[in-house]
Amino acid sequence: MTILCVRFQLPPTREAALPELLGLLEEFTPVVEALPPDGALADLRGAERYFGRDAVELASVLRVRALALYGVDCVIGAGPGPMLARMALRDARPGLTRAVPGGGERDFLAAKPVAALPGVGTATARTLCEYGLDTLGRVAAAPLSTLQRLVGAKAGRELHEKAQGVDRGRVVPNGVSRSLAADRPFDRDELDPDRHRRALLSAAGDLGARLRAVDKVCRTLTLTVRYADRSATTRSRTLSEPTAHSAALTRTAYDLYESLGLQRARVRSLALRAESLTSAEHASHQLTFDPVDEKVRRIEEVADRARAKFGPRAVIPGSLAA
Amino acid sequence: MPGFTHLHTVSGFSARYGASHPERLAERAVERGMDALALTDRDTLAGTVRFAKACAKAGVRPLFGAELAVAPPESGADRTDTSVRRDRRRAPVRGGAFVDESAPRVTFLARDGARGWADLCRLVSAAHTAEGTPLLSWPDNHADGLTVLLGPDSDVGRALTAGRPDRAARLLAPWREVYGDALRLEAVWHGREGTGPGSLRLASRTVGFAAEQGVRPVLSNAVRYADPGQGEVADVLDAARRLVPIGATKELDSGEAWLKDAGAMRHAAERIVESAGFRRDTAHRLLEQTRATAAECLVDPEDDLGMGAVHFPEPHLVGAGRRTAQRALASRAAAGMVRRGYDRRPGRREYWERMHHELDIIAHHGFASYFLTVAQVVDDVRHMGIRVAARGSGAGSLVNHLLGIAHADPVEHGLLMERFLSRERVVLPDIDIDVESARRLEVYRAIIGRFGTERVATVAMPETYRVRHAIRDVGAALSMDPAEIDRVAKSFPHIRARDARAALEELPELRELAGERERYGKLWALVEGLDALPRGVAMHPCGVLLSDASLLSRTPVMPTSGEGFPMAQFDKDDVEDLGLLKLDVLGVRMQSAMAHAVAEVERATGERVDLDAVPEGDPATYRMIRSAETLGCFQIESPGQRDLVGRLQPATFHDLVVDISLFRPGPVAADMVRPFIEARHGRAPVRHPHEDLAEPLEGTYGVVVFHEQIIDIVAIMTGCGRGEADRVRRGLSDPESQGRIKVWFAQHAAANGYDAETIQRTWEIVEAFGSYGFCKAHAVAFAVPTYQSAWLKAHHPAAFYAGLLTHDPGMYPKRLLLADARRRGVPILPLDVNKSGVAHRIELVPESRKARSRKPDAWGLRLALSDVHGISEAEAGRIAEGQPYASLLDFWERARPSRPLAGRLAQVGALDAFGANRRDLQLHLTELHRGARGGRGDQLPLAGGRKTASAGLPDLTSEEKLSAELGVLSMDASRNLMDDHRTFLRELGVVSAKRLREARHGETVLVAGAKAATQTPPIRSGRRVIFSTLDDGSGLVDLAFFDDSHDTCAHTVFHSWLLLVRGVVQRRGPRSLSVVGSAAWNLADLLEVRREEGLEGVAARLAAAGGSREGDDPEGGPARRRLAGSDGQPAPAGSAAQDPMEQRRIRMSTGYEMHPWADLRPAGEGPAVGRKLWHQSPGSAG
């Protein structure tokens, strides 16, 4: 009962506040693992003894502080291991910490559907349900060899252990590896490639500006296209070098879009996500003899300053101005 | 001012392009002062006949043409560039590719009479030989009798759009080579900007180019709709055709493509010539050219299209050899006389006289070839070993009977030739033949093989927009959420699109939707705008055209999508107008079912049953029919029929004929049923208006049931002869001619010495029932399979159910037939890969299996592999062929089922022989599948020889097994699904169907069950009644909901599967029983509540739903009096929708009124389909 799993109730626009919130956790323990975009795991083993309170009480302290300092509520689950803490989180509500007591793991798990177990994806869950193993209690009761036949040797063993409540996970401290997203919805089914490209240009420009504002670069760009029937296609691509340069992001976004070859698809929204963010200081940049590249980057710098002074729409690409 | 002729006009028959019906176009043309109008639909001539008729009515001269996509000449140097680019395009990951409409389109007009029409037919047929979308290849693109308009969408027009007159000149050369002087350049101005189609600049370029090239220009408006303001409908149609939302291609309709009058077109001409740099008064030359072109196009609908003439196959093809068809027919008829032994009977004179009389009539019309053709087809079908029966009025002809076309002897049953064909009747006779549905296409192939593709074509059936499709297409065009479109569309019954808004206001089950109607904006107006427009075309399920070798020059033919049969573009009414002989070959599933049953009996027992020779008047059969347990029997299985059979208590074949005739909308509406039943059971005296009429009315207790009786009455009273009497009978349905007939009838009857009172009373009968009655020949033809199927059900029940389940002929879902079989004591044997066949089979069940029974053995029904969801014919065949299988591995290796199929088989227990636990079997199958994929032969862990070892997985619970059966087989094979809910139903005090038989009349009861069928048929009072049938395992409960309960019940009844209903018992005979519903709940919901919240929860739910309900009047509200058929009262007050309803009642040609919402298929999911429960069942099912 020493691991907390915290999810801050952050609106998407305030993603950037996560590092500060993690700072709150770090006041209790150094062992904090960020779960972007809005969560974290914290190991309170030392803290319990140091502060003389158990994890549930510490969770209350945390909640109060987050509300007082940042006006952000949070949902907290507590458990003996990271996996159980995460699962407890799903039962928790704002204002109420759900804790799994040590020794009560099996009871806690028994009635849960298999899909609730971290690491059990839709495919595995479907397989298990097909064979009537729809709750973790039934999975725990099934022979290990059968489980291994169902989902493979390693996955089967892990599943078996997890279903018994054996949680071998550890909280691994890490820095904030966040991602940024920009979503461009359409108010009706949009098929026009020009409008799509315009939306991508705007989203990529937005991402670039936000990245540069926090001095980050991204390594991977992901495009999610949502359709009228609520389905979606996702494609991601690793950039040739980590960058926050809007032009480079736009180019990649266009490439991703072209690779879909959409014609009659009824697009309802386009979302770009910049992932694997790293600090801009550590990013390398391939210099070229082409002076244009240099000029574009300088213009971007100037435009950023103009935006800082006159608002985000002070400088925008011509095709978006219309 | 002289009128203007539109040379380029499309109607709604240009599927998803034109927005107006041809009739509307013709009307508008007259209103706007035009003398002639062309119809040039896209890729089709299907609208021609309707257009020609509408033009004749309106008084305009029709021009016929078509707009076709044309491939460029092969040698064209620059044709590859576009296609290469298309190929390079990446395949879209989602949503599909754009609909390719890049082929240039050209308008062809028929010019020289029949030759022009024949050329037009040939071109349209040739365009449809291409793969995919219709495209006329260049080698086919030549004709002498056609005028060609090269408009903005032609290759020449496109070159001009691109500002390339040089290229246009090059492209024009091949056209000029082929069509020479018949070529025209078409200028269109729709007030668009730029240089694209419809722009002023393109129009002026066209006119200028024409002057330069010496080709005559014409002016058109490329009409897509009759009236201004229909541009939005055209946008929806464009969107539906291109499968994109409106606005996706940026180009909206200009709103100008309507049927403009002469003044507007003159104005257009002036603008065009001016902008082309000519003087304004040159406009009259452009208009003059247009007029001259129209004047050349002379095709007469009667002479050139062949309307009104008849074309039969050549006599030598139908076995006449060198003789004339009439002589061949006479000798065949005489031979039939001898073969059937009528020449040796006592009444042989009557037979001979009748035969000669009929032959005379046939000779009078010259229809002998027709009879020989039908006889030839029937012979061919019979030689193929396919069950065949004639239906329709043709059964009234003795010649048909002698030729072997009709089974029943018309003399014995009192059927009249005149109802079918007489000297006075000039329309084509019509003989329908019923064949086994499963082998219908074989029959088509045989007919095509016999007469050749140049003489045979199937008939088209345009699919038109009704409300649901219209909502789907408009919704998609307006980019509505697909899930929402689906919800809105499904909540409507299958009504006309034009009634959408009215239905929203009036139908109780749409009330919820009506509340949010504003949200959908212009959806409703557009939906109504699409009303009845054709949206596609399918093969008519039964019509086959038979003609002489000139068929293809009179009819455009296209291949059907599935089977590639030649299909004429005309629909069944058109072909009659065109004088094409149509033979209706109906696939009747019951015939297939009976054939299967007979084959099963022979396979299993070796006993050969000849259904056509079963003994008449079999007591066991009639006992079964009288018990009203006639589920599955042809024509007498519907709830209404079961009720009627229960009241009528048929005892002879003639009773069956009467029963079938009475159960028609007309007789039910005219309330002929009650007097008949009263008289039959001796509760009312039999009355005749005059003793002369006693003979025709004898068999039906003085009630007029058949058309034949009316013919006889009129013939006897007036002495006019039966042919004339039949004409009179036809006139009765028309209120205008009815008045004239009344006078005529009175005069002639008086002349024959009948007194005024008799005439008056007879006329009342004739007037009341004349147009309602049923053709006795039809009824006799129907009653034959009815009796045969009932006989099978009584004597070979297992085989009968096997046939029914295999061919699914009836109105009920399969699971209901299975429940019926269970009730009749037929053991249901589960699916087993070692025993089940492709089709349902019968099997001897030894005594030990059937513990309760004292009888030694019983025939059981073994379920079929073909009912497994998703099984292919090949897979089923392979499994059946490889039987028996020794083990799971053996099965897997030899039957090679797909993995999902094997899984489903395991779920329903078809593999239980190989191991006990169905889930363990699944695991083994997965591993076998994986092993096969990995290419290594894995060995299965075996336990004790054949059985497969256990893997320790939990087995399916009994509930899950049932759920799997419903999901996989759509049938509850092991037990009735209602059995699981017995406890709850007992708690509620629900009366079972079995116990309901003892219920008192007027008692209020609760009933529950799975919904089997729901109908809102037209009924006498013109009101809307929802009839539904519930199955609760012990029997069927027939429900009726009258419109005072619709507000509260309609939605639940249409949209739930398991129902709990409160109602009042209605009893009308010993076997006739129904429940008039006053409240309905979704039983599945209640079961859920019972499970989760206990009885208190259920009580809360019932209180919430039923609390606001008006106090039910247990002793007969207005509803019950209506059901009893005795009310003549107006509608109950309180329904605001009554007044508009009165106006919109649909008057049938037979004179009785129909509620506008009384329709064939109501909303909702239809009858119980097992898969629904699959999702509703709690927890996961295996």
B348, two tokens: 């042989």
* CA distances in angstroms from A59 to A22, A40, A54, B925, listed in the order given: 13, 13, 9, 49
Contact of A138 with chain B, judged by CB distance below 8 Å, is answered with yes
Name the residue of chain A whose CA is nearest to B1181's CA: A132
Partners of A143 on chain B (C-beta within 8 Å) are 951-952
How buried is B333 (Cβ within 10 angstroms: 0-12 exposed, 13-18 middle, 19+ buried)? Answer: buried
Indicate which CATH number applies to the domain containing A155. 3.30.70.270
Range of the domain at A114: 3-164
- Within 10 angstroms of residue B200's Cβ, the number of other Cβ atoms is 21
Predicted pLDDT at B186: 94
For B149-158, b/e burial (b = at least 16 CB within 10 A) is: bbbbbbbbbb
The residue of chain A with its CA nearest to that of B248 is A191
The answer to whether the beta carbons of residues B241 and B17 sit under 8 Å apart is yes
- Which of B99, B953, B963 should we substitute to test contact with A (largest number of A Cβ atoms within 10 Å)? B953
Instruction: Please answer yes or no on whether B96 and A228 come within 8 Å at the CB atom.
Output: no
From A261's Cα to the closest Cα of chain B, the distance in A is 4
Regarding whether A286 and A227 lie in a shared domain, the answer is yes
CA distance A171 to A157: 21
Tell me if domain B22-85+98-296 and domain B977-1174 are identical in fold: no
Which of A133, A143, A227 is nearest residue B94 as measured by Cβ atoms?
Answer: A227
- Given A120, A137, A164, the domain boundary residue is A164
Are residues A193 and A158 part of one domain?
Answer: no
Contact A229 B89 (CB under 8 A): no
Q: pLDDT under 50 in chain B at which residues?
A: 1, 76-86, 849-850, 853, 935-938, 941, 943-944, 1106-1154, 1159-1182
Please check whether residues A135 and A214 belong to one and the same domain. no
Asked if the Cβ–Cβ distance from B95 to A266 is below 8 Å, we say: yes
Compare all CA atoms of chain A with the CA of B921 and give the residue at the minimum distance. Answer: A131
| CA nearest neighbour of B813 among B452, B1170, B284 | B1170
Q: Chain B residues contacting A, CB < 8 Å?
A: 89-99, 243-245, 247-248, 250, 478-479, 481-483, 903, 919, 922-923, 926-927, 951-956, 960, 1179-1180, 1182
Chain A residues with beta carbon closer than 8 angstroms to that of B91: 261
CATH superfamily of B22-85+98-296: Metal-dependent hydrolases (3.20.20.140)
Nearest CA distance, A141 vs chain B (angstrom): 9
In-domain check, residue A65? yes
Q: How far apart are CA B155 and CA B346, in angstroms?
A: 78
Q: What are phi and psi of B763, to 5 degrees?
A: -60, -40
Q: Which residue, among B1071, B1053, B1046, B1064, has the nearest Cα to B1121 in the 3D structure?
A: B1064
Q: Is residue A169 part of a domain?
A: no
Whether A206 contacts A66, CB under 8 Å: no
Residues 6+ apart with CB under 8 A from B948: B887, B888, B914, B915, B920, B921, B924, B940, B941, B942
HSE, CB side, 13 Å, CA atoms: give it for residue B1173.
Answer: 29
Per CB-CB distance under 8 Å, the chain B contacts of A144 are none
Q: ∠ CA B844-B845-B847 to the nearest 5 degrees?
A: 130
**N-to-C CA span, chain A:** 57
Pairing verdict, β B828-829 and B858-862: parallel
Instruction: Find, among B823, B831, B837, B829, the residue nearest to B793 by Cα.
Output: B823
CA atoms of B247 and B478, how far apart (whole Å):
9
Nearest to A265 among B92, B483, B953 (CB): B92
CB contact under 8 A, A228 and B482: yes
* B960, closest residue in chain A (CA to CA): A132
Closest CA to B72 of B166, B149, B175: B175
If you write DSSP's letter for every residue of B384-397 in order, what string do you get?
A: TT--EEEESGGGG-
**Contact state of A149 with B927 under an 8 Å Cβ cutoff:** yes
| One domain, residues A140 and A246 | no
Question: What distance in Å separates residue B9's CA from the closest CA in chain A?
Answer: 29
CB contact under 8 A, B95 and A142: no
* Ranges of each domain in chain B: 22-85+98-296, 315-458+541-564+581-589, 466-532, 591-784, 796-954, 977-1174
Does residue A174 belong to any structural domain of this protein? no
Same domain? A20 vs A93: yes
Same domain, A278 and A307: yes
Contacts of A145 in chain B (CB under 8 A): 951
Residue A275 placed within a domain = yes
Give residue B297's region: left, alpha or beta (phi > 0; psi -120 to 50): beta
Q: Which of A129, A230, A263 faces B1180 most closely, judged by CB atoms?
A: A129
Distance to chain A for B246, nearest Cα, Å: 9
Rounded CA separation B342/B336 (Å): 9
* Min Cα–Cα distance to chain B from A268, Å: 10
> Is the Cβ–Cβ distance between B672 and B649 less than 8 Å?
no
Would residue A194 count as lying in a domain? yes
- B1161 vs A185, higher pLDDT: A185
Q: List the beta bridge partners of residue B460.
A: B539
**Chain segment B98-134, per-residue pLDDT in tens:** 888 888 999 999 998 888 999 999 999 999 987 778 9
Clarify whether residues A134 and A224 are in a common domain.
no
A64 to chain B, closest Cα gap in Å: 37
Residues A17, A74, single domain; the answer is yes
Residues of B in contact with A130 (CB under 8 A): 903, 922, 1182
Crossing angle for the helix pair B639-648 and B673-680, to the nearest 10 degrees: 30
Determine contact, residues B913/B881, Cβ cutoff 8 Å. no
Asked if residue A239 and residue A126 are part of one domain, the reply reads no
Q: Are A94 and A210 in the same domain? A: no
Q: Residue A61 and residue A71: Cα distance in Å, rounded?
A: 14
Residue B134, by phi and psi: left (phi above 0), alpha (psi -120 to 50) or beta?
A: beta
Binary contact (B245, A231; C-beta < 8 A): no
Q: How far are the Cα atoms of B789, B797, B803, B839, B1065 from residue B596, in angstroms, in the given order?
A: 12, 13, 5, 9, 39
Do A67 and A190 lie in one domain? The reply is no
- Residues of chain A found within 8 Å of residue B954, distances taken between Cβ atoms: 132-133, 138, 141
Question: Which tokens go with B99?
Answer: 């609909």
The residue among B727, B730, B728, B723 whose CA lies nearest residue B743 is B728
Residues with Cβ within 8 Å of B139's Cβ and at least 6 positions away in sequence, in order, are B74
Which among A143, A260, A263 has CB closest to B96?
Answer: A263
* Tokens standing for residue B1157: 């919402």
Same domain, A158 and A267: no
Mind telling me how many Å the CA of B258 is from chain A's nearest CA? 29
Rounded to whole angstroms, how far apart are CA atoms B815 and B632?
12
How many alpha carbons fall within 13 Å on the CB side of residue B43?
22
Give the strand pairing for A232-243 and B36-42.
unpaired
Does A175 map to a domain?
no
Chain mean position to CA B80: 44
* Of the candidates B684, B686, B352, the residue with the CA atom closest to the CA atom of residue B695: B686
Q: How far is A172 from chain B (nearest CA, A)?
A: 37
A109 touches chain B (CB under 8 A): no
Fold of B977-1174: OB fold (Dihydrolipoamide Acetyltransferase, E2P) (2.40.50)
What CATH number does residue A264 fall under?
A: 3.30.1490.100
What is the domain count for chain A?
Answer: 2
| Cα angle B943, B946, B950; round to 5 | 35
Question: Shortest CA distance to B1159 belongs to which of B252, B324, B497?
Answer: B497
Please indicate, yes or no, if residue A173 is contained in any of the structural domains. Answer: no
Q: Decide: B378 and B405 in contact? Cβ < 8 Å.
A: yes
A98-99/B183-188 β-pairing: unpaired
Concatenate the DSSP letters of all residues of A234-285 into one string.
EEEEEEEEEE--HHHHHHHHHHHHHHH--SS--EEEEEEEEEEEEEGGG---
Alpha carbon distance A287, A297 (integer Å) = 12
Lowest mean pLDDT among A10-24, A155-169, B349-363: A10-24
> Is A200 part of any domain?
yes
Tell whether A189 is within 8 A of chain B (Cβ): yes
* A236: closest CA of chain B, how far (Å): 15
